[in-house]
Amino acid sequence: MNNSKGATGALHPASAAILVTGGAGFIGSNFIRYVFNKTDFAGTIVNYDKLTYAGNLSNLADIEKKFHNTGYVFERGDIRDYAKVEELIRKYGITIIVHFAAESHVDRSIFGPKEFVETNINGTFSLLEAARQLWAERSDVRFHHISTDEVYGSLGDSGYFFENTPYDPRSPYSASKAASDHLVRAYYHTYGLPVTLSNCSNNYGPYHFPEKLIPLIILNAVEGKPLPVYGDGRNVRDWLYVEDHADAIWQILLKGRAGETYNIGGECERENIEVVNAICDILEELRPPKDNTLIRKQSPAVGRYRELITFVGDRPGHDRRYAVNCDKIKKELGWSHRHNFEEGLRHTIEWYLRNTAWIEQIKSGEYTKWIEKNYTNYKKLKNEGQG
Ligand code: NAD
Ligand code: TYD
């Protein structure tokens, strides 16, 4: 490493001013909630978010109410806006940047990759430049970059992703995340910027935007709509409850070593069809179809939620299996996941059943139109024999 600046100063995450990018999204909002409610944090969090279709301030309504002007601030803006980020760093005395902001949905990246390159690559570059400027002025700086296990590509029936697994991204989403990871590491090696990275497996939990598998299946089932399963339904994902991810990131801020990457996973491999079946079975109990007025209206012939499962054309370039080895973060930082899948999934389903106002609010016209177009495209692929 060519660290022209020298040693890093001591970090004090629990009392620092932290810039969280993308804090109005799914994982970012859960992270902010976790830090305020479950750690001894007494500093300031500035949530910097553009509020794209995926960003939603009501994800943090409770935190806003409790901590507004006493530790929590929201600032709207784009991570590509270097001047604005610099201004915020000065205004709030930011020393730590925790970077979640991204375009995050693989299907969207297939239909429109441009935004992914612009936000995930150019946006990360712009933030790194702002962090480099800060690093030139003080030594107690940290840039934590949130990434995904998808940068490692697709596994066969065996094996795991380790921190040194070669990158092999296969969707525009994962390619853009891979590029951003490379930039972050380059800033460490070239400029000595104290960075850490984490590559995490699939998250699930409250406030998950309903274009992703688990919330989409829950909401469609409750409404008596088809449950779309891509391809043969046997692709495997490694599921982690979102609060466990938040805890892992916090442990990295507290104890992680600059320049290091930490894999984070749920050690919970499930085929997609198993996940969909599990959601159907929990719903049978929590909201039996015979008592569900929406089912009676939308699909009166349906007696069991599993009858709504519909195999559709496959996602192009669909990665077969992800599985993360997280021994490093366990051994070095003492982290391990606390929620098992069955308990976390039940809690998540209960949350979606309770939070109908949140669901109605995010079902904007733009989002609904996108979903319709997306599934029309998959149906087309299937009919053309490509699915
Ligand atoms: P999300 O789509 O729910 O939220 C992304 C947030 O970023 C939104 O609030 C959005 O408004 C904001 N944003 C987008 N573009 C922006 C821009 N140009 N400037 C400022 N803000 C912008 O995503 P998520 O699921 O919460 O994922 C957060 C991060 O975690 C991403 O970097 C993603 O790659 C990574 N990740 C996600 C998962 C997962 O399972 N969801 C797993 C591993 C890693
Ligand atoms: P997703 O939640 O989009 O996360 P990722 O693509 O980042 O893993 O998808 C999880 C898995 O579920 C993935 O294998 C694709 C599949 N899937 C479906 O079968 N049907 C759906 O409607 C969606 C959104 C995903």
Position 2 scores a pLDDT of 46
Contact 34, 13 (CB under 8 A): no
Span from the CA of 216 to the centroid of ligand 2 (angstroms): 9
- Residue whose Cα lies nearest atom 37 of ligand 1: it is 148
Does a structural domain hold residue 229?
A: no
Residue 67 to residue 129: CA distance in whole angstroms: 30
Give me the residues of the chain with pLDDT under 70, please.
1-4, 6, 364-387
Span from the CA of 84 to the centroid of ligand 1 (angstroms): 19
What CATH number should be reported for the domain holding residue 69? 3.40.50.720
Position 5 scores a pLDDT of 73
What's the pLDDT tens digit per position in 58-98? 999 999 999 998 999 999 999 999 999 999 999 999 999 99
Position 347 scores a pLDDT of 98
Our count of domains for the chain comes to: 1
Domain containing residue 43: 13-203+240-268
Residue 154 to residue 11: CA distance in whole angstroms: 36
Does a structural domain hold residue 164?
A: yes
**Ligand nearest to the CA of residue 200, numbered in listed order:** 1
Position 387 scores a pLDDT of 33
Does a structural domain hold residue 367?
A: no
Does a structural domain hold residue 306?
A: no
Span from the CA of 237 to the centroid of ligand 1 (angstroms): 18
The number of angstroms, rounded, from the C-alpha of 225 to the middle of its chain's C-alpha atoms is 25
| Dihedral Cα 347, 241, 368, 300, nearest 10 deg | -40
Does a structural domain hold residue 45?
A: yes
Position 386 scores a pLDDT of 40
Position 368 scores a pLDDT of 63
Does a structural domain hold residue 222?
A: no
Does a structural domain hold residue 297?
A: no
> Which pair of structure tokens corresponds to residue 195?
């960075």
Q: Which of 200, 230, 240, 277 to mutate to test the pocket of ligand 2 (most atoms within 8 A of CB)?
A: 230
The SS3 call for residue 237 is strand
The SS3 call for residue 165 is coil
Ligand 1: does its nearest atom lie under 6 Å from the Cβ of 119? yes
Position 45 scores a pLDDT of 98
What's the pLDDT tens digit per position in 111-136? 999 999 999 999 999 999 999 999 99
Does a structural domain hold residue 212?
A: no
**Ligand nearest to the CA of residue 315, numbered in listed order:** 2
The number of angstroms, rounded, from the C-alpha of 267 to the middle of its chain's C-alpha atoms is 17
- Residue whose Cα lies nearest atom 17 of ligand 1: it is 78
Q: Is 137 labeled as catalytic in the residue annotation?
A: no
Give 166-223 as a 3 state SS string.
Answer: CCCCCCHHHHHHHHHHHHHHHHHHHHCCCEEEEEECEEECCCCCCCCHHHHHHHHHHC
For tokens 């430049």, the residue is 129
Q: Where are the beta strands (DSSP E) in 208-289?
A: 227-230, 236-241, 261-264, 269-271
Q: Is 150 labeled as catalytic in the residue annotation?
A: yes
Q: Which of 46, 47, 100 to mutate to test the pocket of ligand 1 (most atoms within 8 A of CB)?
A: 100
Q: Is 173 labeled as catalytic in the residue annotation?
A: yes
The SS3 call for residue 144 is strand
